[in-house]
Structure 1
Amino acid sequence: MVPDNSECDRRAKDRFGATIPRELVHRRAISEVLLTGIHTSGNAVYTVSAQWPRWHVFFGSVRHGFDSALVVETLRQLTVLVAHTQLNVPLGMQFLMPDMSVSMAPGALQDPSRPAEVTVEVVVTDIRAAVQGVTAFRTSAIFFVDGQRIAAGTAGARIVTPEAYNRIRSHRGVAVGCRMGRPVPAAEVGHLSPWNVVLNESSDTGHWPLRVDVSNPILFDHPLDHVPGVLLIEAVRQAVRLAFRDPCLDFLTVEAQFVSIAEFSDEATVVLESVSDGPEPAIVHASIQAAGRVRMQARITAKRLVSTGIHQWKSVGTERSALRENLHA
């Protein structure tokens, strides 16, 4: 039996009618909660619903298409939500994410006339537990809008008690207001506000100092004792945009490993280490380094999305050749 329109409207309202409690995704501002519900679909399989705004002051740097940064943040939130609501991880436990990857569907366009109602099919694997409960797991997610697959992602999670976290983080630095230096122009990295810029200017090709502004209400919605992974991934994206001179460029894929915690006391640098010499899309290997240690390493594939009346993917081959020559100069 096919449900009538009123029944469909009721189900949509149930799934997208309100956000979930903010503490379940580790957010303070209700406005920054993206998730609207979670339902069990089977053994360790869940359906998560989310609503993405038509435009966002931070997650709005990709014209026409879906912003990969919005997928990254949604993946973070749903991983935390699954832990608290399905794996019985108590509030107050500390989360560490050793890795995260996202892939975007080329050519998937957002309807600019309404918020996107997102359905995410989530599978939880690699669950590990100890006496205190779940200590680690992995989420794999596929994102759909109006039945169209628009992205996929995976994330690892480690759960640490507050006592254990305090022991391993006893040396942590103090948050600073903003890393000193001159930010790169916001327009060159796809943003309208300099508040969203996470790189400082540099004369060294392929190297940019990391900019950390703890007054940013999106990246630092709640108190942290380290630089968050969402900021580190955004820093790599901004570096790639600068390197290819394309503020509209976005990831097709990003695979990030958080090797060690990025401290507030770090004088960290974003480094583009190599650019592929093969066919499109461009493949970039990048890292964030500080004090002689790698904090994050990432493998990226990217193309630019340009508006030409008909939306299409355009090659970055010319800029890539120039960048590769500079990196090896």
Structure 2
Amino acid sequence: MSTTERVSTSSTGLISEAFGDEEGAAGQEHLVRPVPKELVHCWNARHVLPTAASREGDHLFSVAVRWPHSHQLYGPGTAAWCDPQLVGETLRQSGILLAHVGYGLPLGHQLLLQRMTYEVDELALLPVVGGTRLTLRASFHDVVQRGGVLRSASVTVTLHRGGVQVGTGAFDMQCVPPTVYARLRAAARKSDSPSLPVLPAAVPPAAVGRVQARDVMLAPGAPHTWVLRVERDHPVVYDHPLDHVSGMALMEAMCQAARLAVAMPSAAVPAMDATFVGYVEHDEPCLVTVGDAERIDADGFVVPVRVYQRGHEAARCRFSLRGPAA
């Protein structure tokens, strides 16, 4: 799971130029407020979820987050609560932000999320008019720096709303310099200018809890298997151009497959555990497969999903789903 932001300005320079070094109350050091879109590798400011970041101690940080009342992708299929998949995107953006403002990672480096897990109280995330405001507290450990530049870290987080903890999460990330990233991608791609296949017809949007066909990431395939389909100009999962299938698209495709497999299109996702093994290319078929679902109670399942390309596993995830059946 990676980003391709290539702004050459250093993150430290961007922060000091726009916001200065401001000390916060109770010993907190304000790192950035508000959050420029460049610091979470977004091109569209509407997609930025963090609103501020502070340092609370050595390798300890807090991030203020606002979820919009109506998201362009996440949320339309869930009638009662914010789609907790927003937690995954919140973790991703917060990790990128803190790498830049907390450790001075230069813009232009790629951040690869290798594993991400979370568990939330979905009923504590009921949306309100004006958006849902949260605080993410992050603890970095196993931090590796070379030449003063962050190279990798593991991060554990707690998520709070109104002073009450409503979730936990964790992720592992690697920070890759531009030259190394270019070599990695050159070795993986078959062509610098791959021809893009015509997208196959999508499964019905209502079957996966979506409204518009462009938001459907699956096409029919074999039993328990679907073909990945992603529109390259999708306004959310391709906020900016990428030379590979975005991690957001893979997460959405796997979640849709899990919902489809157990006929729960509007299920909430209170927990998930995802691992990203390699890049998925645009110009080759990619399959999304679902294993045996485990019923945990009358309203819930745990569903394992895997993504394959070129005969190799590219990603996998176990989703906890809760909600009514179709």
TM bucket by the smaller chain? 0.7 to 0.9
CA distance in 1, matches of 2:57, 2:102: 12
Query: TM-score, structure 2 length as denominator?
Result: 0.83
Deviations 1:95-142 (A, max 9, x none): 111111121214224143331111111111110122362110122221
Match of 1:294 in 2: 313
* Alignment match of 1:252 (pick from 270, 274, 295): 270
* Alignment match of 1:216 (pick from 220, 227, 234): 234
Alignment length (residue pairs): 292
Q: CA, structure 1 residues 192+178, in 2 after alignment: closer, same or farther (shift >3 Å)?
A: farther
SS of aligned partner of 1:81: helix
| Shift in Å, 1:165 | 1.0
1:196 maps to a residue whose letter is D
Runs of 4+ in 1 over 3 A off after TM superposition: 173-179, 277-281
Match of 2:214 in 1: 195
> RMSD of the alignment, in Å?
2.2
| Shift in Å, 1:179 | 5.1
Sequence identity, in percent? Answer: 27
SS of aligned partner of 2:86: helix
Deviations 1:44-89 (A, max 9, x none): 1111001111111202132222312211111110000000001111
Q: Is the 8 A contact 1:177 1:213 kept in 2?
A: no
Q: Is the 8 A contact 2:85 2:269 kept in 1?
A: no
Match of 2:183 in 1: 167
CA distance in 1, matches of 2:94, 2:232: 24
Unmatched runs of 5 consecutive residues or more in structure 2:
1-24
Unmatched runs of 5 consecutive residues or more in structure 1:
1-10, 307-315, 320-329
CA distance in 1, matches of 2:134, 2:310: 40
Q: How does 1:123-162 map to 2 (within 5 A)?
A: 123-131=139-147, 133-162=149-178
Q: Is the 8 A contact 1:178 1:213 kept in 2?
A: no
| Shift in Å, 1:155 | 1.4
Match of 2:6 in 1: none
* Structure with the larger RCO, 1 or 2 (CA within 8 Å, 6+ apart): 2
Q: Does 1:266 align with 2:284?
A: yes
2:156 maps to a residue whose letter is S
Q: Does 1:54 align with 2:69?
A: yes
| Shift in Å, 1:177 | 5.8
Match of 2:322 in 1: 303
Q: Does 1:182 align with 2:198?
A: no
| Shift in Å, 1:198 | 0.6
Q: CA, structure 1 residues 49+175, in 2 after alignment: closer, same or farther (shift >3 Å)?
A: farther
| Shift in Å, 1:189 | 1.0
Q: Is the 8 A contact 1:19 1:34 kept in 2?
A: no
Deviations 1:220-278 (A, max 9, x none): 11121111212111111101111122211122211111111111123111100222266
Match of 2:301 in 1: 282
Q: CA, structure 1 residues 166+111, in 2 after alignment: closer, same or farther (shift >3 Å)?
A: closer
Q: Does 1:22 align with 2:37?
A: yes
Q: CA, structure 1 residues 177+144, in 2 after alignment: closer, same or farther (shift >3 Å)?
A: farther
Q: CA, structure 1 residues 259+152, in 2 after alignment: closer, same or farther (shift >3 Å)?
A: same
CA distance in 1, matches of 2:296, 2:258: 17
Q: CA, structure 1 residues 67+153, in 2 after alignment: closer, same or farther (shift >3 Å)?
A: same
Q: Is the 8 A contact 2:66 2:133 kept in 1?
A: yes
